[in-house]
Amino acid sequence: MIVRNILISLFLFALVFIGFLLGDMYTIPGIKFDNQVDPLHALSILVTFAIAVLLSVFFEAHKKKDSTQKEIMIKRVDRVLNTLEELHKAILTGKIDFQTAVSLPKRLNKTFDYIWESLKINKINVKIEKSEIINLIRDLKDLLTNTPTNEERKLKKYCPITVNDNLLIYASPRVTEICSKLEEINNKLFQTQLNINAN
């Protein structure tokens, strides 16, 4: 990109130079060309040209850096969305291994800490508070792992979660609740991506 800008600038400078040469070689009726160029005017043109090239190179590099940072953050959010989609597919089967149910919310919390810290460092404003997503993840963790006690099981006919051979098996209403919570988190992440892209 920088090289392209420099080449374009050199091309424009060459056009101006060719214009001076052609003006000196040809005479056009009604237009008079001065054969003498004031050195102060030539210096002024060169300095203006150099400043224009430097500014375009500087701003292009700065713009590219900002764009790259945004892309990295959006990719990070995409990875979280992919993880949530995998969890959604697993939940639709009605069972998930206990280790995944416990570790996934922790991983999500760490990832969101990283994303929000990056947003803060890069001064990107998002309309969603970090606490909103952290609360949704806490709710998701509760839905994934809170199993009723033995006494609660005896009192209720409905048991939202049962444990069998290191697998958490969810009743249909609990699957619906988890899917709804995952959708809420996905919507917040989508809004975050839009905010990152808009800045």
Q: Tens digit of pLDDT for each residue in 156-180?
A: 666 788 888 888 888 888 899 999 9
Q: Containing H/E element for 167?
A: strand 167-170
In a domain? residue 176: yes
CA dist., res. 24 & res. 87, Å (int): 75
- Percent of the chain at pLDDT > 70 equals 81
Contact criterion met (CB below 8 Å) for 196 and 73: yes
Q: Is residue 69 part of a domain?
A: no
- Report the pLDDT value the prediction gives residue 166, as an integer from 0 to 100: 86
Name the residue with tokens 């993840």: 137
Task: Domain of residue 134: give its range.
Answer: 74-198
Average pLDDT value for the chain: 81
Does the residue 189 lie in any domain?
yes
The answer as to whether 30 is a domain residue is no
In 147-177, which positions are buried (b, 16+ CB within 10 angstroms) versus exposed (e)? eeeeeeeeeeeeebbeeeeeebbbeeebbeb
- Position 60 in a domain: no
Domains contained in the chain, number: 1
40-47 contact pairs (CB < 8 A, 24+): 45/16
Residue 165 counted as domain residue: yes
* Nearest-10 Cα torsion for 30, 35, 40, 46: 90
Residue 171 lies in a domain: yes
Q: Which pair of structure tokens corresponds to residue 108?
A: 């999500």
User: Does residue 183 fall inside a structural domain?
Assistant: yes
Lowest mean pLDDT among 33-42, 84-93, 167-176: 33-42
Per-residue pLDDT tens digits for 63-77: 776 677 788 888 888
